[in-house]
Structure 1
Amino acid sequence: MYVNPMMLCRLLPSVSHSWVHRRWLRKFDMTPSMLALHWQKVFEAHKIPEARESSEILISHALGAKTFHHIPPSVSRCPVSADQLEHVESMGQQRLQRVPVQYIIKEWDFLDMTLQMRPPVFIPRPETEELVGLVLADSQGLLSSTGPRILEVGCGSGAVSLALQRSLPQACVVAIDKTEEAVNLTRNNAERYGLQNKIQVLQHDILFDPPERLLTWGPIDVIVSNPPYIFTADMSMLDPEISRYEDHNALDGGHDGMDVIKGILHLTTCLLKHNGDVFLEGDPRHPHMISQWLKTTHSVQLRLISIFQDFCKKPRFVHLRKS
């Protein structure tokens, strides 16, 4: 007779759901595909976003594969072991609490890198890969014969800084973030790729710390940032994966989403070279807002070069140049 594990938990309330779930799964020879379908249905029943993707990522990780499609045929045809079932169960329970898969498996891909991830440090999004491409394609500052100096404001996991350093070995890259957690994670990821002696990582809050601290590495050819840019009023609409687990300091950009953006633009007056470039990721409303702000803020000598759309065709990136 088939007994659903959820029903068994209701009949035996003193028995934990996880224990019942594992015992129920062990009664069947669950191959990876069967297990993936099972967890997909569990996630769907609990309205977990991207249920299939979540299931496949967790199971791939438990089996030591990069992706579900990279599970070797010799493994995919065999039942999952008891230890692997327990590992998947543990991760699945976290996902049911809306923990992002990146934090559960403790890593995530960015371009050609696999970076460590730890809460609450901001998880890099696919759009930010486009930001790296724009910097490499459109910055005059990268033509510096002595090796460009690049500053990333708000480095998070170090994704952007490390990608630029790997693409431009001659560059001097300085990565700053206001939180110790982000600085430590960037350093860990730099060590993972042997770049700990190539990239400078500094805990620095551009809104409160004196800019003179950064002049050691100036003048800067390129400033790049995916800053906190969410309007404070929009923070309540974030998915639980974001609102519960990611650092709100890396998300909330103030009432107009421009607090840190303005700080970066002011920073250019003392730190950015003449004809140096600034590349920013922001809300689709920000390109127009930045353009209007520059017209009324004469102390900041920047001109708008380009506005770029992301892969969803939203105006996401701004390229500015110092006059």
Structure 2
Amino acid sequence: MPQSWSVTGRQFLRRGAFLRPGNPFQSLKPVLWTQPLTPWQLQCIQELSSHRLQRMPVQYILGEWDFQGLSLKMAPPVFIPRPETEELVEWVLEEVAQRPRVIGTQGGPLILEVGCGSGAISLSLLSHLPQSQVIAVDKGEAAICLTRENAQRLRLQDRIRIIPLDVTLEGSWAHLLPWGPVDLVVSNPPYVFSQDIEQLAPEIRSYEDPAALDGGEEGMDIIAHILALAPRLLKDSGSVFLEVDPRHPELVGSWLRSRPDLSLDLVAVRKDFCGR
């Protein structure tokens, strides 16, 4: 087979029926549609297919996934970034573009991401905002290691400070004071209501870290900690961006009204492309 037409089993899965809507072979060169696979390619596809039959997410099978145009390494049990979260990034970018004189007055904005996971949000913001700096925190060792590896792969490691931190611990905010104050706090926190966890797909329940999903009885456990932490670290002109459940805007608004000491207001709510 000519080298320019070669395709590995992993590439076949990435380009083929497992991933693409419509015609499953639309991204393969026409000559490959009838080209027989080599024994090695066939074995590779069989092994990868076996993982998929065990309901392993495609992102973990491939070991990588795209987010905001960046190719990120993926590894279980670190939370897999969803397409909806790309919209959160775009909203943050809009905010920065609309308020350039307020956000990042000494160059680009300083951004804090709580629960960085694979680093998808932090690294995409860094790639879109060349003058920005990011502080990324997560309590999971696997997430910290994966964010660090992805930052190095994308050569963004010099602009991101990655800190292992559990924001639910008393006084955790004090560990971040030396690096602040920040312009923006961004997070896709665990926000699934505990009673809804069992309704999640097997791919999610069996492979992804439950701590990155379960937000407690009302999905507010980590959200409340982030909101309580924010005023201590934000500049006066700062903002908080969160991805939440459709039921949360009302709950967040009520919670903020019960905490006037935080001086935080719910300013805007947006639905994602799924209408949630």
TM-score (ref. length: structure 2): 0.88
Following superposition, the deviation at residue 288 of structure 1 comes to 1.0
Query: 5 Å matches for 1:121-270?
Result: 121-139=78-96, 140=99, 142-208=103-169, 210-270=172-232
Deviation (angstroms), 1:54: 9.7
Q: Runs of at least 4 residues of structure 1 off by over 6 A?
A: 52-55
Matches for 1:39-78 after TM superposition, within 5 Å: 56-57=17-18, 68-78=25-35
Q: Secondary structure in 2 aligned to 1:221?
A: strand
The equivalent of 2:268 in structure 1 is 306
Label 1:184 to 1:53 Cα distance change in 2 as closer, same or farther (>3 A).
closer
Structure number with higher relative contact order (C-alpha < 8 Å, ≥ 6 residues apart): 2
**Residue in 2 aligned with 1:43?**
none
Aligned residue runs from structure 1 range 85-124, under 5 A = 85-124=42-81
Judged with a 3 Å threshold, the aligned counterparts in structure 2 of structure 1 residues 197 and 68 are, in CA distance, closer, same or farther, namely: farther
Q: CA deviation at 1:80?
A: 1.1
1:150 CA displacement: 0.2
Equivalence for 1:278: 240
What's the counterpart of residue 3 of structure 2?
none
Greater displacement, 280-289 / 75-84: 75-84
8 Å contact 1:229–1:283 — kept in the other structure?
yes
Residues in 1 aligned to 2:179 and 2:131: alpha-carbon distance in whole angstroms:
14
Distance 2:186 2:65 in 1: 21
Change in Cα spacing, 1:196 to 1:143, as seen in structure 2 (3 Å) is closer
Q: Aligned partners of 2:60, 2:52: CA distance in 1, in Å?
A: 10
Specify every segment of 5 or more residues in structure 1 that has no aligned partner in the other structure, as ranges. Answer: 1-31, 36-51, 61-66, 315-323
Deviation of 1:268 after TM superposition, in Å, equals 1.3
CA-atom RMSD in angstroms: 2.2
For 1:29, the equivalent position in structure 2 comes to: none
Larger radius of gyration: 1
State the aligned residue count: 259
Q: Which residue of 1 aligns with 2:4?
A: none
